[in-house]
Amino acid sequence: MENCGGMDLAATLDCGQAFRWQANGAAWHGIVENRSVTARMEGDALILEGASETDRDFWVHYFALDVDYPALLEKFCSGNKRLAECVRWNPGIRVLRQPFFETLCTFIISQNNNIPRIKAIVERLCTGLGQPLEGGGYGFPSAETLAALEPEDLAFLRAGWRAEYLIDAARRVAGGQIDETALRAMPMENARAVLCTIKGVGPKVADCVLLYSLSFWKAFPMDVWMKKAMCQLFPRGVPVSCRGHEGIAQQFIFDYARHHLPSGQKQKSARKMHAKQSSGN
């Protein structure tokens, strides 16, 4: 795939928006749904080894190669100085469009959790219940597969209370109460409200699904942690010139904050800020 607009594979695949990519030198191996692939950059071209030609559209969509990122970044840079700083910090990071059900499940698993353990649980989930693929590895289990199980059946995940949430999510998706096509057709606020009816899905998980799977690049409310970074970067609010692309801005800001704020300080300052917000003004 040519002309990837300066995409940085490592930054994109290892920033915490996807959990099944594994670095192998400069290449990255990943499984998305039931497609196993090894990705690497040659200049500005994305090389996908092991991808069938018929899956080309799938990967273009997944990597959002149809989005003119250079133009978008240019808009960010000219629109706001601090946002320009974010872009300068990591110009190659991209917001993926991941399959709906696996995004929902991986972010349910992500709650009150850390990335290495999230990855480990997701791998156990796939190895235990996913379809074995030609050439090794396992696909992501279908909603139907999970829906037929009980929370106790997921004990092998060692995911704690999240097992119950996964089963509920699977049953709602398999039963059609949660429908990806319908969600995409809704205004973002309605889609978020529907996602939040799943047990174990709150504003944070819902927003991750909206951003990383459903491509809602609209006014994006930030969770407490994000707000901290946002307030540092945009003390007077997100500039109007950037409206409509806050989702992408959020990804930049997230990455910026991850590298610039000392890890121990994040929670503390977020809490302090939360307290300040709720008590004062």
Partner DNA sequence: CTCCAGGGGTTCC
Partner DNA sequence: GGAACCCATGGA
Q: Which residues are catalytic?
A: 204
For DNA, the binding residue among 206, 210, 214, 233 (CB under 7 A) is 206
- Which is closer to DNA, CB of 37 or CB of 208? 208
Q: Compute the 3-state secondary structure of the chain and give helix, strand, coil in percent, each to the nearest 5.
A: 55, 10, 35
227 lines the binding site for DNA (CB under 7 A): no
Write the CB contacts of 172 (distance below 8 Å, at least 6 apart in sequence): 178, 197, 198
For residue 188, count other CB atoms closer than 10 A to its CB: 20
- Tell which one of 7, 31, 86, 205 touches DNA (CB under 7 A): 205
Q: Residue 274 interacts with DNA (CB under 7 A)?
A: yes
Options 48-56, 73-81, 107-115, 138-146: segment touching DNA (CB under 7 A):
107-115
Nearer to DNA, 40 or 204 (CB): 204
Helix (H) / strand (E) element for 205: namely: helix 203-212
Rule CB under 7 A: is residue 264 a binding residue for DNA?
yes
Residue type (1 letter), 207: D
- Closest approach of DNA to the CB of residue 134, in Å: 30
Q: Is 200 in the site for DNA (CB under 7 A)?
A: yes
* Integer Cα distance of 229 and 260 in angstroms: 10
**How many residues line the site for DNA (CB under 7 A)?**
38
- Contacts of residue 235, defined as CB under 8 A and 6 or more positions apart, other chains included, come to none
Report, in Å, the least distance between residue 112 CB and DNA.
4
Dist CA 199 CA 205 (whole Å) = 11
What end-to-end distance do the CA atoms of the chain give, in Å?
Answer: 51
Task: For the chain, give the longest Cα–Cα distance.
Answer: 59
Using the contact rule CB under 7 A, the part of the chain among 74-82, 97-105, 193-201, 231-239 near DNA is 193-201
Q: Report if residue 132 touches DNA, rule: CB under 7 A.
A: no
Contact call for residue 199 and DNA (CB under 7 A): yes
Select 61 or 268, whichever has its Cβ closest to DNA. Answer: 268
Q: What are phi and psi of 166, to 5 degrees?
A: -60, -45
Q: For the CB of residue 183, give the shortest distance to DNA in the complex, in Å.
A: 16
Residue 244 CB, nearest approach to DNA (Å): 20
Tell me the C-alpha to C-alpha distance, in Å, between residue 222 and each of 51, 170, 228, 230, 249.
36, 26, 9, 8, 11
- 221 binds DNA, rule: CB under 7 A: no
- Indicate whether 278 belongs to the interface with DNA (CB under 7 A): yes
Tell whether residue 122 is a contact of DNA (CB under 7 A).
Answer: no
Interface with DNA in residues 7-26 (CB under 7 A): 15-17
Cα 161 to Cα 135: distance, rounded to the nearest angstrom: 33
Interacting residues with DNA (CB under 7 A): 15-17, 110-117, 155, 158-161, 196, 199-206, 208, 223, 225, 254, 258, 263-264, 266-268, 274, 278-279
